[in-house]
Every structure is written in C-alpha cells, then in structure tokens.
Structure 1
C-alpha cells in the first residue's frame, strides 16, 4: 500500500469518528442541558512508506480531541416545582459516589428522605457543599434568581452554581454530568441566574448537524473513490511493468 492509500485511510478513520459525534448530537437534540460537540483534527507528519522522490514527511490526518460548545440553550417553561434552568454560564454541583460532579440538567426531584437530587439520585449541593433537604409539610418550595431556596418564607439553603476559569477542565462522564479533570477550583457563578419552573434545552441546531452529516458522508465517499483510483493505477502500473520485462 503506497502513501496515498495510507493518507486516505487515516482520513476515513477520522471521518467515521466525526460521523459518530454528529450522530450523538442529533440523538441528544431533546436532552436537557446537552452541549453540542465537534471533532478537532490535525495533521500528523510521518515518514513515508516509500521514499522514491515522494514528499517528506507525509502528512496523515488524525483526531485531536472533542470540542464542546457550552453556549446557552433555549429555556422552556415546565412549571415544575423542582425544575431549574441556569441562565448564563455556570453548573449545578452534585455529589457522586466518587466525588463532586457538575451539570446543566436541572430536572431535580426529592428522594425518600427529602433530599433534592438529580434524576439518577445524586444529591444536589448548596453553595457550601452540603445537601439540601425539603420538608413536604412546610408547603411549596421557592427558588430565587440567586439560588436561595425557601419554604413558607423560611430560607433552607442556597443552590450552588459554579463555573471554571477554563471550561476545558470539564470532562463528560455520562448521565449528563461532568467532572473536573484539572487542578482548577470551581468559582461561584455570580453572573448566573436561576429560573424556577423552566429547563434549558440542548443547544444542538438540527439543520446544522444534518448539513454536517451530509458533508462528512460525501467526504468519505470522495476519499473512497480516490483510494480506489490509486489502487487501480498501481495495479495497472504493475501489469504494464510486467509486460515490459
């Protein structure tokens, strides 16, 4: 296999990965708080497979990580007592079995002991890192724009909303949660505002993702045709060389 086929194969591998990411974006079009992702690419110079006057080095295509757009998704009204949306930059703090996690998914509920939790049961934390407990006997719950939780006029906590100096510190870990993979400490998101009875939708734009999917599909087909042409050219060259000898 010559250099052109190696380069084409590397391009196809990246395009398949990009198609997987686009498909995941479309699948999460209606996922609360989901953030659209895209594949970053780079050239990877390597020694050529053959050195008969070809370019040096040969530049292969490789994936260079996944970029995530943390832009605001549209807010929709649900009137759910424990549905919360963040307007602006920030993340809810929740506690997992192995540490703290962060999310934009505000579909909260209460568990059997009254703790405010995510849909998967992870406790939602207040601004001091403690749990928030709701007493159903005290009446409806109110949440102010700055996160203060009250019942019957009594303050029972303040929902912790934090952000990071560099959002690249966050890594997706499933269940619409992120973990901090750096040594950066979360800071209070003072500019963020909470909206009770609302949820933030995905920031995926369906038309753009479908357009990207078509472009990737066409690029894959064009690369396959180029590789077929190179393979056919090599085959015919070998056949002609055999006849000359």
Structure 2
C-alpha cells in the first residue's frame, strides 16, 4: 500500500510540474522544469518512490523576431544580469523597456545591469558581441555600454525566484561573466526574444502518462486495502 501511495504522490508532483510548464509556455525566456525521483528500498525489497526535487531544463528556446525596441535574446548558454532593490538575479528573458532614468527594466521592475540609455538617443542597437550603440542628432554609432553575460558551472542547480528569474546556490557555483560573441561564447540577438523551451505536445503526453500511472497506483492502493480487509475478517473469524 505504501509503495502504491508513494507512486500516487510522485505522479501528483509530476502533474503539478507539467501543468506549471504549460501555464508558462508562452512566457519569453521561460525554462521548463522536471522532477527527479528515486527508489525507496529496504535491502532487496522495494518500498516505493520519493521525490528528490525539481530542476530547470536549460535547453535553448527558439529565437523569434519581436516588436520591442529594446528586446534582446541570448543565442547559446548564459543569463542576463538584473538587479532590483540591491538584489541580483539572472534571467533568459530579454524583454526590456526604457525607463525615464534611461535604465532598461523588465515588467517586474528588474534593471538590466550595466546599461543606461542617454536621453538624446534617437536609436539604440545591440551588436552580437554585446556592444550597445546609439545614434544621436550629433553622432552615429556611439558605444555607450557593453553587455556581459553570466554563466554557471551547474545552472540546473540554480533556484527559481519567479517565472523567469534564477538565483545561484552552492550547488550551481558562482557566476562567471563572459563577453558575448567570442569564440565558443554565446552571442546577443537584438530585436529577438527567446521563446519558452516547453513543448506543448510533449507536455500533453507527459500528462497522459502521469494520469495513467496515477490510476495504476490507485488500483494498487485499492487492492492492498481489500487484502487488509480480508485479513482482518479472517482474524475476527
């Protein structure tokens, strides 16, 4: 009974994670998550399963052209560095807008680190190597900043801090800043956004599989309950 009940709990966790993935499938820069499970054993006897935790899947999402004048995407591994209220986080969502002070912020108010657009800028662009250039009434192609990206030894161990935000942990290692566009390094795609890496078709198949496994485990609980009922009646007899 315990083995089947733990299987039901595991499939419930799987359903919750897949449902969260589907709910954010259209969010730019969102990374789907997966759960890790392990056997519970007493010697050679299997006692069920347990959930070890969940982790993000950092497979590259498709890059699509966007209409935002300050949208950027990362082609390859790495994260944008964002800050708010003295706290630092990391994201793959490059959907930013210019604020009155010239900073670039996302919809949650997180500021893109290291970039501030002057008020006289008539046009802004970001090159593949992270160079931020502007055109003004007096000059063209003036470099005002250079984006750097953060990479981690084990990004899958980072802790989610929102739909598209992550913070490092001891297991993920410390951030290392890299220059985009160098040999083997990620590059910047200006005027693009990275779509979620969640596959709706695969998620639906995962839901169907989890539902069938849940039902099978539920039948196991019912069978164990019936066996206990029969044993109890025999004892009374």
Q: Say yes or no: does 1:33 pair with 2:29.
A: yes
For residues 176 and 157 of structure 2, the distance between their equivalents in structure 1, rounded to whole angstroms, comes to: 10
Paired residues, what number? 226
For residues 89 and 235 of structure 2, the distance between their equivalents in structure 1, rounded to whole angstroms, comes to: 64
For residues 199 and 22 of structure 2, the distance between their equivalents in structure 1, rounded to whole angstroms, comes to: 8
2:138 aligns with none
Taking structure 2 as the reference length, the TM-score comes to: 0.89
SS in 2 for 1:101: strand
Query: Shift in Å at residue 60 of structure 1?
Result: 2.9
Partner of residue 185 from structure 1, selected from 166, 172, 175: 175
Q: Say yes or no: does 1:11 pair with 2:7.
A: yes
Q: Say yes or no: does 1:201 pair with 2:195.
A: yes
Taking structure 1 as the reference length, the TM-score comes to: 0.86
SS in 2 for 1:210: helix
Moved over 4 A (4+): 55-58
1:100 aligns with 88
Q: Deviations over 1:41-83 (max 9, x none)?
A: 012335xxxxxxxx76553311011132101101111142101
For residues 235 and 16 of structure 1, the distance between their equivalents in structure 2, rounded to whole angstroms, comes to: 27
Partner of residue 121 from structure 2, selected from 127, 135, 138: 138
Query: Shift in Å at residue 24 of structure 1?
Result: 0.4
Query: Shift in Å at residue 225 of structure 1?
Result: 0.9
Partner of residue 47 from structure 2, selected from 59, 62, 65: 59
Which of these two proteins has the greater Rg computed from alpha carbons? Answer: 1
1:170 aligns with 158
SS in 2 for 1:39: strand
SS in 1 for 2:36: strand
RMSD between superposed Cα atoms in Å: 1.7
SS in 1 for 2:117: coil
Gaps in structure 1 of 5+ consecutive residues: 47-54, 127-131
Query: Shift in Å at residue 241 of structure 1?
Result: 3.5
Q: Deviations over 1:191-235 (max 9, x none)?
A: 111111110000001111100101111111111111111111221
